[in-house]
Amino acid sequence: MSVTVQMRQVVKHYKRGAERVEVLHQLDLDVPAGEFLALMGPSGSGKTTLLNLMGGLDRPDSGQITIAGERVDAMTDRQLTRWRARHVGFVFQLYNLMPKMSAAANVELPLMLTSLSRAQRKAHVENALNIVGLGDRARHRPLELSGGQQQRVAIARALVADPSILVCDEPTGDLDRQTAFDILGLLKLLNRDLGKTIVMVTHDPLAAGFAGRRLHVDKGLLVTGAEASLQ
């Protein structure tokens, strides 16, 4: 089976004053292509740290991270930026849209780093907005859209460059339950019908239920649900 994400012996620490706080301890993770994986765990357990490493937003102190066949941990900042634009789509809890730009312009942003023509970019943007059900909202600005619609725009932006992996950090954390379920249903559809590989961080067991597999971040290591210490 082809593997999209392979993390080996990954160590990450932060400095808090003079103190060295190790967040991930020699962590191993494989995500097969086409999987929808939920990462759970209490606040502060290192979920965002792990996701940022997986998406090439940050680098480990040691260990290897291979995504879609490329060693991400060995790249320079410049290489990493270009690599991210092609291979990773990010979805954040607070959408992170540009407020002054239309939905379409927000979705187009990742394509500005590619060699696509203006007409090709327009076609990709239309397609991505249609996939998330917002084909008729292309000219709206973020504040003219509901929270759920803004998150759909963010998902379209994450999809538009056809990345190897979608990483979603608490994508429904700021939404009411029904809207959250709609967004989770969309992610599930992207996984099932379009074969997108998705890694989603959530502390909500109901949200995690939409994924195909669940792992818990527990004391800087990954364990299955049954092994997670009681919180």
Interacting residue ranges for Mg ion, rule: CB under 5 A: 47-48
- Our CB check for ligand ADP shows the closer of 131 and 201 to be 201
Number of chain residues interacting with ligand ADP (CB under 6 A): 11
Say if residues 128 and 135 touch (Cβ distance below 8 Å).
no
Query: Is residue 185 part of the contact set for ligand ADP (CB under 6 A)?
Result: no
- Our CB check for Mg ion shows the closer of 47 and 84 to be 47
Read off the tokens for 28. 């191993």
**Taking the chain, what is the end-to-end CA distance rounded to the nearest angstrom?**
34
Shortest distance (Å) from residue 10 CB to ligand ADP: 13
Say if residues 142 and 99 touch (Cβ distance below 8 Å).
yes
- Our CB check for Mg ion shows the closer of 32 and 42 to be 42
Among the residue ranges 43-51, 124-132, 150-158, 192-200, the one whose residues contact ligand ADP (CB under 6 A): 43-51
Read off the tokens for 102. 């239309």
Sole binder of ligand ADP in the list 4, 38, 45, 145 (CB under 6 A): 45
Sole binder of ligand ADP in the list 1, 17, 19, 43 (CB under 6 A): 43
Query: C-alpha dihedral over 74, 75, 77, 81, to 10 degrees?
Result: -140
How many Cα atoms occupy the beta-carbon half-sphere of 217 within 13 Å? 26
Shortest distance (Å) from residue 102 CB to ligand ADP: 31
Say if residues 22 and 12 touch (Cβ distance below 8 Å).
yes
Query: Is residue 89 part of the contact set for ligand ADP (CB under 6 A)?
Result: no
Shortest distance (Å) from residue 66 CB to ligand ADP: 21
Shortest distance (Å) from residue 27 CB to ligand ADP: 12
Residues 6+ away with beta carbon under 8 Å from 15: 21
- Cβ contacts of 93-99, under 8 Å, gap ≥ 24: 93/169, 93/170, 93/171, 93/173, 93/174, 94/174, 95/142, 95/147, 95/150, 95/151, 95/153, 95/154, 96/154, 97/142, 97/150, 97/153, 97/154, 97/157, 98/142, 99/141, 99/142, 99/143
Site track 13-32 with ligand ADP (rule: CB under 6 A), x = hit: -x-x------x---------
- Our CB check for ligand ADP shows the closer of 25 and 140 to be 25
- Our CB check for ligand ADP shows the closer of 93 and 149 to be 93
Positions touching ligand ADP (CB under 6 A) are 14, 16, 23, 41, 43-49
